[in-house]
Amino acid sequence: MNAKSYILFDLDGTLTDPMVGITKSVQYALKSYGIHEPDLKRLTPFIGPPLKDSFMKYYGFPEEQAKEAIGRYREYFAVTGIFENRVYEGIPELLKNLKAAGKHLLVATSKPELFAIQILEHFHLKEYFDFIGGASMDEVRVRKGDVITYVLDTVTLTDVSAAVMVGDREHDILGAGENRMDSIGVLFGYGSREELEKAGANEIAASVPELEKLLLV
């Protein structure tokens, strides 16, 4: 993989570990439908993919009910869950070093853009990014491939060979592929090596230091 000047980061499971906030928000939403899930670890598959897809896939919700469940989820997330989150060790230093090396840093997340900005501001990471792109609140733009396209269009980047997507789930890798971009899968989030390799990741980083070596080529 050649040197990249534009680096797109996923948020959940890549820059921060949102396990508690996301799973508690899902737990809260499910309770509205009489579903009681005491084990938060069983809800970690919700971290990364679009919420509507996850409610449909894991709990068999019809599409309209899944859309409604997102509203229930946000009742908890917007007030409490958004900050039940932590930055992965080494990420602030990584971003600082990449910025010092002249890299253009961007965020491409399926989390609503408003929430993504709030989270990065809360953890004092917003300053490192040229643009933070996320899903629209109405979920019209939520698929990772669409979010990546939106970010590339916003910064008017047409030479995708100069860019790379970094993420922890297959959606990040597949979304990069849809945009003819290279990608790096990270193993410190919620995806497995098998998942990321199967999706077609160009490189795999098991740790933040490994990721830094790949990005500072």
Quote the pTM value. 0.94
Residue with tokens 């928000």: 25
pLDDT band (50, 70, 90) for residue 104? very high
The percent of residues in the chain predicted with pLDDT above 90, rounded, is: 94
Kindly give, in sequence order, each residue whose CB lies less than 8 Å from that of residue 32, ignoring residues fewer than 6 positions away.
69, 72
Question: What confidence score (pLDDT) does residue 217 get?
Answer: 80
**Candidate list 10, 146, 168, 172, residue with the active-site label:** 10
Task: State the helix-helix crossing angle for 19-31 and 63-77, rounded to 10 degrees.
Answer: 120
Query: Does the active-site annotation cover 10?
Result: yes
pLDDT over 90 at 1, yes or no: no
pLDDT tens across 171-197, in order? 999 999 999 999 999 999 999 999 999
Structural domains of the chain ordered from first start: 6-17+88-215 (3.40.50.1000), 19-83 (1.10.150.240)
pLDDT over 90 at 147, yes or no: yes
pLDDT band (50, 70, 90) for residue 89? very high
In 36-130, the DSSP E strands lie at 86-87, 104-112
H-run or E-run covering 16: strand 16-17
Count, residues in the chain: 217
